[in-house]
Amino acid sequence: MEPVNGVGAAEDVLAGPHLVAAISATAESDPERKAVGLVRDPEHEGEEALRSYSWLDGRARRIAVLLRRAGLGAGSRVLLLFPQSAEFAAAYAGCLYGGMVAVPAPLPTGTSLETTRVAGIARDADAGAVLTVSDTEAEVRQWAAGAGLDDLPLLSVDELPDDAEPEQWRRPEIRADTVAVLQYTSGSTGDPKGVVVTHGALADNVRSLLSGFGLGAAPRLGGWLPMYHDMGLFGLLSPALFSGGAAVLMSGGAFLRRPHLWLVLIDRFGLTFSAAPDFAYNYCVRRVKPEQIDRLDLSRWRWAANGSEPIRAGTLRAFTKEFAPAGLPPDAMTPCYGLAEATLLVSLSTGEPRTRRVDAAELENHRFVEAAAGHPAREVVSCGRPPALEVSVVDPVTGEPVSGVAVGEIRVRGASVAAGYWRKPEATAETFAVAEDGSGPWLRTGDLGILYEGELYVTGRTKELLIVHGRNIYPHDVEHGLRVHHGELGMTGAVFTVPAEEGEAVVVTHEVAPSVQGDRCTELVTAMRATLAREFGLAPVGVVLVRRGGIPRTSSGKVQRRLAARLFRAGELLRVHADPGAHRLMAAFREGDPLRGASAPTA
């Protein structure tokens, strides 16, 4: 493979062919230019909250020197456990400056699930060191000790020893196929899957994002998405640093507490691009007060990218209308489709958002047919035309292309498709499939959709995955977590989604011991809901307790969640107890209209 050095044309939107070259080039040509910063109070802080390219480059060099000194060689994996901060950017760049592989993960200080998950990531990646900041070092040490990982070198990047000189750094050889990042948004807790993102794929995806959105020279991007999330790392930070622009960040917690501060950040720091999952836009509509809107100027916010969970047409309209008085351009709201397995961006919709009202019953049968008046309909949002990647829609079973109004599995091919799952040849072969004619690899996204009049519409998923507030949650993890916390539950549960107004509703079903009856069922469901909220951030629309043996399984014991969902909808699950939400859903299905009376809780 050709080295990446040399790919970039003179008018390239990237400041260098790979991120290391890009950052160091900007640091050399314009050292004081702002690169990245965490803003805690956007109403009062200004440019001083942002660090320069010279700071970033210097830090990255020193981190690379220290990692080498700790015995890590090119290609070693480095776990990044950070609160939202400029220091994360330094650590990310530092790994790449060292020719190493960045493995971002959430701080393992939250739920027990998260703690376990991050330990699984550290092991799967075979990490050789951990980077954090002094604020969280004690917690990270405690986690490492608990996880049996305390022999890993741990470094706080805001307190680097003085003897690591930036001048000692030697630029590593970086080729298009050199691995840059392992992105762990896929895989359950017990079976984490690291998406292998190479420098070539990263550069290609960032280029398609910058040019697809027309972000121009040195754009300002930012928001509250965490940097261990693919949309945060590849959708905000990487495009900013690649193009000599700036990433202006705030924490996710700050956004949830005071959502208007996200919009203040965009206004005061002149961000032209920010991205978030659908729920966040809906949340702003519900939570930001008129007097707060009065003080906002959102006229410079050219792109409000909406992605990483199903996009609701209602959200697009409500957000555009609510913030129009603050100057939000009518076409700012931009539905996007992407996934970590394609590095990030696959498709985006330019211009004012377009939607189609399709027949709900036909859609259940995988046909995309405009709804006749009076028929139950679902409004599906266009994700536009893919700017760089090739997209095809195929029969999920045969892999044959589908045509006409048929909905099928979305497959994606091109330079930013990831190199597979880290050290998982079987899962890689399954997901990154070579087509019958030997072409490929085609990424099987596990998402269902259609190319309709040239535009991509995503309608559902073949994979058994829950997407909650932009996070991927695996049913197996939820079912297992419930059993860990509630001994009265039986051996098997099934968590699935059913169609609901503007999307889907999560239903939790689980077998229960015969001794649990009457009021104890109600108490158990209450306790289960508390666990689901605390451990998974999940508020299912319905919870059902079923008799032992009532959850369908294959002869080899695999839970049949799809079948369980069908039984639930037909009212045929052998239930011991169903909570009011489950009863409402079942009543709606009995009446034959799945889209009436089954609204999922929002935000």
Partner 1 sequence: MSPSPSPDHLRQWLREQCADCLGVPPESLATDIPLTDYGMTSVTGTALCGMVEDHLDVECDLGLLWQEQTIDAITSRLASRAER
The distance of closest approach from Cβ of residue 534 to partner 1 in the complex, given in angstroms and rounded to an integer, is 5
DSSP state of 371: P
Work out whether 583 is an interface residue with partner 1 (CB under 8 A).
no
Residues in 507-526 at the binding interface with partner 1, rule: CB under 8 A: 526
Of 250 and 380, CB closest to partner 1: 250
Work out whether 262 is an interface residue with partner 1 (CB under 8 A).
no
SS3 191: coil
Strands of 575-578's sheet in order across: 489-500, 503-512, 542-546, 575-578
The distance of closest approach from Cβ of residue 108 to partner 1 in the complex, given in angstroms and rounded to an integer, is 16
Work out whether strand 333-338 and strand 345-348 pair parallel, antiparallel, or are unpaired: antiparallel
- Show the tokens assigned to 205: 């995806």
Work out whether 257 is an interface residue with partner 1 (CB under 8 A).
yes
Of 253 and 549, CB closest to partner 1: 253
SS3 442: strand
Residues in 458-477 at the binding interface with partner 1, rule: CB under 8 A: 469
The distance of closest approach from Cβ of residue 500 to partner 1 in the complex, given in angstroms and rounded to an integer, is 13
Residues in 210-239 at the binding interface with partner 1, rule: CB under 8 A: none
Of 338 and 581, CB closest to partner 1: 581
The distance of closest approach from Cβ of residue 529 to partner 1 in the complex, given in angstroms and rounded to an integer, is 4
Of 332 and 528, CB closest to partner 1: 528
Q: What type of residue is 244?
A: G
The distance of closest approach from Cβ of residue 326 to partner 1 in the complex, given in angstroms and rounded to an integer, is 21
The distance of closest approach from Cβ of residue 296 to partner 1 in the complex, given in angstroms and rounded to an integer, is 18
CA distances 158 to 69, 77, 426, Å, are 17, 20, 40
The distance of closest approach from Cβ of residue 526 to partner 1 in the complex, given in angstroms and rounded to an integer, is 5
Among 256, 405, 406, 435, binds partner 1 (CB under 8 A): 256
Among 71, 253, 330, 351, binds partner 1 (CB under 8 A): 253
The distance of closest approach from Cβ of residue 603 to partner 1 in the complex, given in angstroms and rounded to an integer, is 6
DSSP β-bridge partners for residue 175: 3
The DSSP annotation for 302-321 comes to -EEEE-SSPPPHHHHHHHHH
Nearby residues of 72 by Cβ (< 8 Å), 6 or more positions away: 78, 98, 100, 128, 129
- Show the tokens assigned to 206: 């960032």
Of 79 and 264, CB closest to partner 1: 264
Closest Cα partner for 264 from 47, 42, 50?
A: 42
Work out whether 484 is an interface residue with partner 1 (CB under 8 A).
no
C-alpha of 253 from chain center: 17
Work out whether 529 is an interface residue with partner 1 (CB under 8 A).
yes
Contact mark string toward partner 1, 15..54, x via CB under 8 A: ----------------------------------------
Among 538, 551, 573, 598, binds partner 1 (CB under 8 A): 538
Of 238 and 315, CB closest to partner 1: 315
Among 237, 532, 564, 565, binds partner 1 (CB under 8 A): 532
3-class SS string, 102-165 = EEEECCCCCCHHHHHHHHHHHHHHCCCEEEECHHHHHHHHHHHHHCCCCCCCEEECCCCCCCCC
Work out whether 530 is an interface residue with partner 1 (CB under 8 A).
yes
Of 280 and 586, CB closest to partner 1: 280
Of 439 and 526, CB closest to partner 1: 526
Contact range with partner 1 by CB under 8 A, out of 256-264, 290-298, 310-318, 376-384: 256-264
Closest Cα partner for 551 from 479, 602, 478, 487?
A: 479
Distance of alpha carbon 123 from alpha carbon 147, whole angstroms:
10
In 388-502 the beta strands, taken as DSSP E runs, fall at 390-394, 408-413, 432-433, 442-452, 455-461, 466-468, 471-473, 489-500
> By CB neighbour count within 10 A (0-12 exposed, 13-18 middle, 19+ buried), where does 509 fall?
buried
Work out whether 281 is an interface residue with partner 1 (CB under 8 A).
no
Of 300 and 584, CB closest to partner 1: 584
Contact range with partner 1 by CB under 8 A, out of 63-71, 320-328, 484-492, 530-538: 530-538
The distance of closest approach from Cβ of residue 287 to partner 1 in the complex, given in angstroms and rounded to an integer, is 7
Residues in 284-303 at the binding interface with partner 1, rule: CB under 8 A: 286-287
Closest Cα partner for 326 from 310, 345, 355, 304?
A: 304
DSSP β-bridge partners for residue 81: 105
Distance of alpha carbon 68 from alpha carbon 407, whole angstroms:
50
Work out whether 534 is an interface residue with partner 1 (CB under 8 A).
yes
The distance of closest approach from Cβ of residue 382 to partner 1 in the complex, given in angstroms and rounded to an integer, is 27
Work out whether 279 is an interface residue with partner 1 (CB under 8 A).
yes
Distance of alpha carbon 499 from alpha carbon 331, whole angstroms:
29
| CA R_g for the chain | 24
How many residues touch partner 1 under the rule CB under 8 A: the total is 22
Under the rule (CB under 8 A), what is the footprint of partner 1? 253, 256-259, 279, 283, 286-287, 469, 526, 529-530, 532-534, 537-539, 601-603
